[in-house]
Structure 1
């Protein structure tokens, strides 16, 4: 059985949600064991090894090839880890995740036609702030008009906290 057949066999046994749970668990234990501060390549190597020990098929630095407008791009993009051929795992070791990191994962998901990816930052002080699920769906690039999951604790140009402005807006809407 080649690696693709093995990945297809395992894909039938473990859905992508179950697979992501296994990866998150392994990454959590790795973050607890090694802590932040090592090179990305170290975390990638150790995480791949742990997942393989769980019986998963892991491809490291998987080339993502694609064509656009008659041009072929054969070596421009690499996924850190592709687990069972169905889950993208992008490993980072930076102080803070920035939006371009999530867009990178979403690009991989779209090009590979996969539904879910994980962005795991081993450089964050806690695992919770360093692990993100990225979903490939029709609303992936649409910015929310709602102020959900946004940081209102920042200070705006006038020195007012955005949270206070938001609360005032809510009071005006409700007629208070």
Structure 2
């Protein structure tokens, strides 16, 4: 049912691993974001950076300053981090974005790890 998202997530993870191998840990989140966008575009994958996300409250669309780090093929949200470890607030943020966008799959990627596989978390909406 979610074959396209699963295949896309594998491609995103592959691109993120390539970026991490090249740069290693220790840079700002914005650097990884720019490099991952570049890597995905090189692979002919559609990506949007810093996508505004509004909230609908009582039927009114409100801009609250939310921004998705990366929106891939309008199917997968990627939130990038450079933290010691993920916390519940990181999960909550991504799950909220998935619900607001009515999307199924999101990836949390923490570049502040020795091996990137240790810093990847898949979250699904519903």
Q: Give the alignment's TM-score, normalised by structure 1.
A: 0.67
| Residue 9 (structure 2) pairs with residue 23 (structure 1) | no
C-alpha distance after superposition, 1:23-67 (max 9, x if no partner): 001101211221100000000000001101111111000011121
Partner-residue secondary structure (3-state), 1:15: helix
C-alpha distance after superposition, 1:127-157 (max 9, x if no partner): 12210001101xxxxxxxxxxxxxxxxxxxx
1:112 and 1:83 map into 2 onto residues whose CA distance is 12
Do the aligned partners of 2:37 and 2:47 also contact (CA within 8 Å) in 1?
yes
Root-mean-square deviation (CA, aligned residues, Å) is 1.3
Q: Which residue of 2 aligns with 1:135?
A: 124
Q: Which residue of 2 aligns with 1:68?
A: 57
Gaps of 5+ in 1: 1-13, 138-176
Deviation larger for 18-27 or 63-72: 63-72
Q: 1 or 2 for the larger relative contact order (CA 8 Å, sep ≥6)?
A: 2
Q: Which runs of 4+ in 1 moved over 6 A?
A: none
Q: Which residue of 1 aligns with 2:113?
A: 124
Gaps of 5+ in 2: none
Do the aligned partners of 2:55 and 2:64 also contact (CA within 8 Å) in 1?
no
Q: Which residue of 2 aligns with 1:48?
A: 37
1:97 and 1:125 map into 2 onto residues whose CA distance is 15
- Give the one of 34, 38, 48 matched to 2:23: 34
